[in-house]
Amino acid sequence: MIRNVVTVKVRDGYDPVWLDDLLGRFQSLNCPGTAAYTIGTDLGLRDGGWTFAIVADFVDADAYRAYDADERHNALRAELAPHAEQVSRVQFQP
C-alpha cells in the first residue's frame, strides 16, 4: 500500500465557495487502485495550519502513479496552482 499525503496553503482572499467546489471535485476522483481517499479543510484548532489536506491510499505504486498522471486529477491541480501559496507532498508505506 502507498499512502499519499498532500497539504495545501491557499493564498489569502480565496473564495470559500470555489474551494468547496474544488475539494468536492477532488473527492469525486475515482482512479483505479484507490483504496481510500479523504479530503478536508483545516478546523483551525491551532494557529499556523494550512488550508486543506488530502490523504489517499493506493493498492501499490503503480496505482499511485496512475493517479498522479490522471488527466482529470491534473486538470484540478492546474486549477488550484495559481491559488496555492504552498503545497507539500509525501508518499510512504504505512
The whole-number pLDDT of residue 2 equals 98
What pLDDT is recorded for position 75?
98
Report how far apart, in Å, the C-alpha atoms of 88 and of each of 17, 32, 33 are: 23, 24, 22
Give the residue-averaged pLDDT of 15-22: 96
Count of the separate structural domains present in the chain: 1
Q: Which of 1, 8, 9, 6 is nearest to 89 (CA)?
A: 6
Give CA angle at 13 (73, 51), nearest 5°: 50
The predicted structure's pLDDT at residue 6? 98
C-alpha span between 34 and 11 (Å, rounded): 29
Which band of pLDDT confidence, cut at 50, 70 and 90, is reported for residue 55?
very high
- Average pLDDT value for residue range 22-42: 97
| Tens-digit pLDDT profile for residues 58-71 | 999 999 999 999 99
pLDDT band with cut points at 50, 70 and 90 for residue 44: very high
Q: What is the mean pLDDT of residues 13-30?
A: 96
The predicted model gives 21-48 an average pLDDT of 96
Give the structural domain span for 50.
2-92
CATH code at position 13: 3.30.70.100
